[in-house]
Chain A
Amino acid sequence: NAGVTQTPKFQVLKTGQSMTLQCAQDMNHEYMSWYRQDPGMGLRLIHYSVGAGITDQGEVPNGYNVSRSTTEDFPLRLLSAAPSQTSVYFCASKETHQETQYFGPGTRLLVL
């Protein structure tokens, strides 16, 4: 199993550009989530999904959209990037009734 994969690993954007961060898992996990990690603030939940077709907002959803058309994929979209979105983004997944989350390797995003 590849586990949780994320692409790209690094990205530089200009303010106002759009992009999609990809996340995929091959463990048939129903629950998937996106976090951003910023210095001094720990991991913060952006959006999460409890299954295909179902998404919900986390702690810091503004500026981000998600969709969950399949169990495997959970892309995160930035429609109009802002410098405040410069961060490291982690995707994670877990089985619905289990507590252990499996994290992807992260995507480092710089918005100029």
Chain B
Amino acid sequence: KNEVEQSPQNLTAQEGEFITINCSYSVGISALHWLQQHPGGGIVSLFMLSSGKKKHGRLIATINIQEKHSSLHITASHPRDSAVYICAAVGNQFYFGTGTSLTVIP
């Protein structure tokens, strides 16, 4: 049983497309993270959300606490956005999704 489910597992997009990655969780949380893992393997924290919406450049993250759902949006996608995006829910521990592998084609 996964406490955090992400969809889709894999996503291929053309450069410039608007991208949405979804995350649903089943545990009570104090915060939710979106992480980015590049092909080299390093993991970077993109956002930490406890409510509402956050924006950083072309990336937007939203969370709906009542529905236990979060989304990561990428506007005007670019090949350098190609990475694995991981959702992590913070309850009494970190619960990680299995990741969404995004490939943006020029």
Which residues from chain A sit less than 8 Å from chain B, CB to CB?
A: 33, 35, 40-45, 58-59, 88, 90, 99-103, 105-106, 108
**How many angstroms between the C-alpha atoms of A33 and B96 in the bound complex?**
14
How many interface residues does chain B have, given as a range?
A: 20 to 34
A59 to B2, CA, bound (A): 13
Q: Is B12 an interface residue (CB 8 A)?
A: no
Mark B residues whose CB is within 8 Å of A. Answer: 2, 4, 30-31, 33, 35, 40-45, 48, 86, 88, 90, 93-94, 96-99
For the complex, would chain A's binding face be called helix, strand, loop or mixed by DSSP majority?
A: strand
B14 to chain A, nearest CB (A): 26
Report the separation of the CA atoms of residues A50 and B45 in the bound assembly, to the nearest whole angstrom: 20
For A58, what are the chain B residues with a Cβ–Cβ distance below 8 Å?
93
Instruction: For the complex, give the distance between the alpha carbons of A40 and B100 in Å.
Output: 10
